Structures are given as C-alpha cells and as structure tokens.
Amino acid sequence: MASILHIDSSPRGERSKSRQLAKEFITAWQDRHPDDAIAYRDLRQTPVPHVTEDWIAAYFTPPEALTPEMAELLKFSDELVDEFLAADRCVFSVPMYNFSIPSNFKAYIDHIVRVNRTFSDENGQFKGFANGKKVLFITSRGVEFGSGSPYEGWDAQEPALRYPFQFMGVTDIQFIHANGLDLGDDARKRGLNEARSKIQALVGSW
C-alpha cells in the first residue's frame, strides 16, 4: 500500500482543467490501487502564506534555539514538510501563470524546501532527503509551446517545478501538460485529449 499526496493549486474550482485532469488520474489510480491512502490538499481552500522576514529568521534558527513564537511561525511549514515526506508519490496539479507557476504553488514550494528537513547544507554541499519518491505534475496552459509556436522556448513553468524538487532529492519527476486550452474549441479538445491519453498510459505504468 502506497501513500499518495494529491494537491490542487488552481484558484478556479469546478472550471479548472488542471483539477479535472488530476482528478481523472487519481480516480483511475484508485480503481487500480484501492488500498492506497490518498492525502488531499487544496491550496485554494487552505492558502499557503508568502514567506516573511520573521519566518525566514525562524527558518535559519537551530531547532533548540527556537522561541515559542518562532516555532509557531514554522508550524504550518512543518506540517507541509511532514505531509510531503510521508508520501510515496505526489500528484500536483498546477496551471501555467505568466509562463511560470501561480504564486500559491510557489509559496507551497518555499514552505517545503527546508534545511535539515528536506535537504542538508554541509558548507555549500547540498543533499536532498526526498529520494525514493515519485512526483507527477499535471499542468494546464492557455497556449502551445511546440515547434513553430510563437511561444516555443517560453516554458518557464516546467523548470520552476522540476528544479526545487530535484534539489530536494526527487529523481523521478514526470509532467503531463495540457496545452492550448485557451486557443479555441479545436485546440482545447486536442490539448485535453492528448493529456488524457498520457494520463491513461501513465496510470498503468507509474
């Protein structure tokens, strides 16, 4: 039995395509693996605050020197780290915003990339602790990025997601992108169909 962490980040609810696709993946996964435990977090319902100067001061304070106020500031981040580390597999749904990621998912990343929790720093030698985990990102995008598109090479979303997780030691990172969702009915159908085919293929082999 594996533990799966499923996080949705779109500020949109039912209309969100990234949520719909992640739900389809999770539903198909549960059909195949009914005993797996799914932890669900919705960043729309429970937003992660942006980091502050006081939070950063607490972050860099050794655990034994934390004041009660500092410990309180880190409490939510601690919960997010525990939840992330406990998962064998993560499914994150993330829309593209301004060629990168929405600020709520960036805030989530800022809270889980924690020294001595998800990585260590030995005089500038960094080591991630989150190895052995599989991470799948399901993304939704308004435009297309293929060869010949005016936006070819503009995808800053995939690196914004990949590198922090690689830094934390995750080696198995996969992406399913739904492209062209705001380019009219034909492009939307094509983008969703391609993403759904990849979901069906991955759910049997992940």
The residues that touch ligand FMN, with contacts defined as CB under 6 A, are 10, 12, 16-19, 95-99, 140-143, 181-182
When the beta carbons of 19 and 106 are compared against ligand FMN, the nearer one is 19
Q: How far is the CB of 202 from ligand FMN (least distance, A)?
A: 19
Q: Would you say 127 or 189 has its CB closer to ligand FMN? A: 189
The secondary structure of the chain in percent helix, strand, coil, rounded to multiples of 5, reads: 40, 20, 35
Buried b (16+ CB within 10 A) or exposed e, 12-41: eeeebbbbbbbbbbbebbeeebeeeebeeb
CB of 12 to ligand FMN, least distance (A): 4
Taking the least distance from each CB to ligand FMN, the nearer of 41 and 117 is: 41
User: Nearest distance from residue 75's CB to ligand FMN, in Å?
Assistant: 29
In angstroms, rounded to a whole number, what is the distance separating the alpha carbons of residues 115 and 64? 15
Q: How far is the CB of 25 from ligand FMN (least distance, A)?
A: 14
Choice between 25 and 97, CB closer to ligand FMN: 97
